[in-house]
Amino acid sequence: MGNFSNRALTFLSNTFGGVIPANAVPGRECDNVFLSALRDIINKYMGQMDQVKQKDGLRSAMEYSQLCNGYFQDQEPWKHAKSPEGMATCSSIVFTAINALYMLCVLLEPFMPSFSAKVYEQLAIKRTLAHETIIGQFKVDSSIQLKLVPSGHKIGKVGPIFKEIPSSDADKWKAQFGGKGTKAEDQ
């Protein structure tokens, strides 16, 4: 999720000056397949959360994140951006990815509110009471997926969401908090 958010937002900032591009080629088959898969995950997530199955809901949110990262990687917007003819496709990829990122924040907010808050900040979106109803709005009209961040919106300053942990700190924390481990690990 941190990788996807940072890559998508950095690309948006560098390629489009931080302004959400238009969905210049709506209805691309690969986008339709991607959005359909996201809708399936969101519906599964909603059912899990309604049944108070938080672990399953978190797994679904992580699955959503992986799908988003795969979409961005597979669509290669950076290759499309190299030519004037490819910019329309690039615009659609970025528009779709940024709206998917926003919904990822909605899904992860119950589990990782600081992640969502940092992405909202980088998107320059002030969290309001309306955020509380996005899942409900999705239940009524799933096309909200592409209406969360409008084209023309200017994002804020982009930066890493998660801090890199130096290996020296990781080793120190592992020794301090890792416990004794199993006999197999000790050998």
Which residue is associated with the tokens 């919904």?
103
pLDDT tens digits along 53-69: 999 999 999 999 999 99
Task: Give the global pTM.
Answer: 0.86
Residue span of the structural domain in which 133 resides: 2-186
Q: What is the CATH number of the domain that holds 148?
A: 1.10.730.10
| 88-138 tens-digit pLDDT | 999 999 999 999 999 999 999 999 999 999 999 999 999 888 888 999 999
Question: What would you measure as the largest C-alpha separation in the chain, in angstroms?
Answer: 60
Interhelix angle 2-16/54-75, nearest 10 degrees? 40
Give the number of domains in the chain: 1
The tens digit of pLDDT for each residue in 76-91 reads 999 999 999 999 999 9
Structure confidence at residue 173 (pLDDT)? 76
